[in-house]
Each structure stands twice: as C-alpha cells, then as structure tokens.
C-alpha cells in the first residue's frame, strides 16, 4: 500500500492516525535515507498514542521511552550508530513482545534478525524536497489486520 504526503505536517498527521489505532504490541520499522522523515513520522505516532512529551531523535541514545494513554509505552529506537546489536538484541526481544509497548525502529539493519516477522514496515522515499512516498508492508497477520483497520 502506498501513501503520499505533501509536507512535514501531513507526515505528522499520518503518524498520528496510525498511532491512534495502536493498542499496544505493534512493531513499526521505518526505512528511509537520512532526513526522509522517520523521526517526524514517529512524532506523529507519539501524538496518536497520547504522548505529551516532545519526541526527540534517539540517534545518540539509541532508545527513548515515552508514556502514552492507557498505560501504553512508546519505545523509539535508532540503531544508526550501532555496528553490533550486542545486548540490545535481548532487550529488543523483550520490548517487542510486551503487549503494552509500541516499538518504532529507525535503521533496524543491525537488529533485523531479532525482530518479529509480523511487523509493519514503512519505506519512505523523497521524490521532491517536501513530498514523501510511504510504502506500507505488513509482515504477518497482526500487521495485516492493522493496515486493514486503518482504512487508508
């Protein structure tokens, strides 16, 4: 499934829409070049999840955690600067199996092997300065239902 957003605001609005549909346990992998809008999309997802804190890029910290509504947690990872998953692999397995946690991952390459197959993958490309094309791919049954429920 493909979605086009015209600008940063629309990217955040789209994130908020999918975030609002999450119930916990969702895993979202974001693929795209530097500056394609992965963190911007995550900011929107956070809004949809009821996070009131300002979401910042976890580039230097690898992981940031935020509280959303109804006891849900947003766990946002960025593995750009990590060459080896190490103990992060164990942590990630735990986090992604938590039913109250929504996991969003940028630059997942190094942890690809430990991520559940059933995840929502969003590939972002930038045809122009402010346009973004999003390709949404469901890796399994849960994420397929999730996509259906979005009625895009």
Ligand X SMILES: Nc1ncnc2c1ncn2[C@@H]1O[C@H](COP(=O)(O)OP(=O)(O)OP(=O)(O)O)[C@@H](O)[C@H]1O
Among 15, 28, 36, 38, the residue binding Mg ion under the rule CB under 5 A is 38
98 binds ligand X (CB under 6 A): no
Tokens of 141: 């049954």
Among 40, 96, 101, 143, the residue binding ligand X under the rule CB under 6 A is 40
- Rg for the chain (alpha carbons), in Å? 14
37 binds ligand X (CB under 6 A): yes
Q: 146: which residues sit within 8 A by CB, 6+ positions away?
A: 21, 22, 26, 120, 138
Beta bridge partners of 5: 132
Among 11, 27, 46, 146, the residue binding ligand X under the rule CB under 6 A is 11
Instruction: Tell me which residue of 100, 17, 107 sits closest to 66, measured CA to CA.
Output: 100
Among 15, 19, 25, 32, the residue binding ligand X under the rule CB under 6 A is 32
Size of the site for ligand X (CB under 6 A): 18
Report helix, strand or coil for 131.
Answer: coil
Q: Which residues would be at the binding site for ligand X (CB under 6 A)?
A: 5, 7-8, 11, 32, 34-40, 57, 59, 78, 106, 130, 132
């Amino acid at each position: 499934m493909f979605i086009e957003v015209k600008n940063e605001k629309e990217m955040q609005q789209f994130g908020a829409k999918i975030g609002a549909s999450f119930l916990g346990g969702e895993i979202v992998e974001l693929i795209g070049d530097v500056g394609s809008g992965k963190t911007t999309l995550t900011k929107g997802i956070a809004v949809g999840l009821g996070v009131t804190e300002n979401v910042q890029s976890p580039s230097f910290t690898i992981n940031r955690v935020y509280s959303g509504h109804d006891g849900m947690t947003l766990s946002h990872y960025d593995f750009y600067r990590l060459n080896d998953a190490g103990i992060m692999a164990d942590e990630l397995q735990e986090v992604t199996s938590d039913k109250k946690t929504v996991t969003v991952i940028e630059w997942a390459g190094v942890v690809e092997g430990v991520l559940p197959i059933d995840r929502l993958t969003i590939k972002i490309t930038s045809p122009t300065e402010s346009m973004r094309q999003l390709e949404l791919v469901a890796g399994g049954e849960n994420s397929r239902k999730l996509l259906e429920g979005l009625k895009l």
